[in-house]
Amino acid sequence: MERRAKLYEGKAKILYETDDADLLIQYFKDDATAFNAAKRGTIVGKGVMNNRIAATLFAHVAEHGVPTHFVKVLSEREMLVKRLQIIRIEVVVRNIVAGSLAKRLGLPEGQDLAEPVLEFFYKDDALGDPLINDSHIRMLNLASGPEMEAIVDGAFRVNELLKEYFDRRGILLVDFKLEFGRHKGQILLGDEITPDGCRLWDKVTREKMDKDRFRRDLGRVEEAYAEVLRRVCG
């Protein structure tokens, strides 16, 4: 597969075109950002670890019926993915109170939720990715009714699969962000599933094992990512 022109560079990844118009190369960087890129830094080796973690988790959910953009791993930092028209909605699934949910609702961090909470955010860095609802999605014409049904069903299914997968490896899936896109008339799970976009806590100690260690200056960031890699990928 021949890597061609850079198509897009984001906070943590670069997308390159290939000699196949339907396929892209997704390259994982070591760059780390938080608070809508107000805080920047580097997590050494993060790109290598996230590539392996994402590939493993994409393969797992795909095996259980969730279609994704992942095709195969190309190198330690690169995976081949299907080209998507990304839907400008960040989908967040929450199982335990943390982060902005605690701040917005005044709930204690760590409180278990009786059932998963689903939230939507408008993908717009200039606006700070604001929280939106179904009415906003229709008003902005971000996705059709059937597309939103596929997205919601997919998000809850991914949550079920990942909660069980992480639980068997001694990890609590606190919350996580997903992105979806269109590919040849189908809605596919895109972007990544990694400690960058998931809150992961040790099941016994509830120690943070994700990018919150970078956000909150907790230290041992690389070690936390490496431990997630070890448990997820064996």
* End residue of a domain, out of 82, 107, 131: 82
- Count of domains in the chain? 2
pLDDT per position as a tens digit, 24-50:
999 999 999 988 778 899 999 999 999
- Which range of residues forms the domain containing residue 111? 85-219
Q: How many whole angstroms separate alpha carbon 200 and alpha carbon 217?
A: 16
In this structure, the answer to whether residues 56 and 96 fall within a common structural domain is no
Candidates 16, 86, 45, 25; CA nearest to 222 is: 45
- Residues 78 and 194 placed together within one structural domain of the fold: no
Please give the average per-residue pLDDT across 57-80, as a whole number.
Answer: 98
**Structural domain includes residue 226:** no
pTM: 0.96
- For residue 110 the two structure tokens come to 């760590």
pLDDT for the residue numbered 141: 98
- Boundary of a domain, candidates 37, 61, 82: 82
Is there a domain that residue 229 lies in?
Answer: no
Domain check: are 127 and 214 in the same one?
A: yes
pLDDT digit string (tens) for 153-194? Answer: 999 999 999 999 999 999 999 999 999 999 999 999 999 999
9 with 91, same domain: the answer is no
Final residue of a domain: which of 28, 54, 82? Answer: 82
For strands 171-178 and 89-96, give the pairing.
Answer: antiparallel
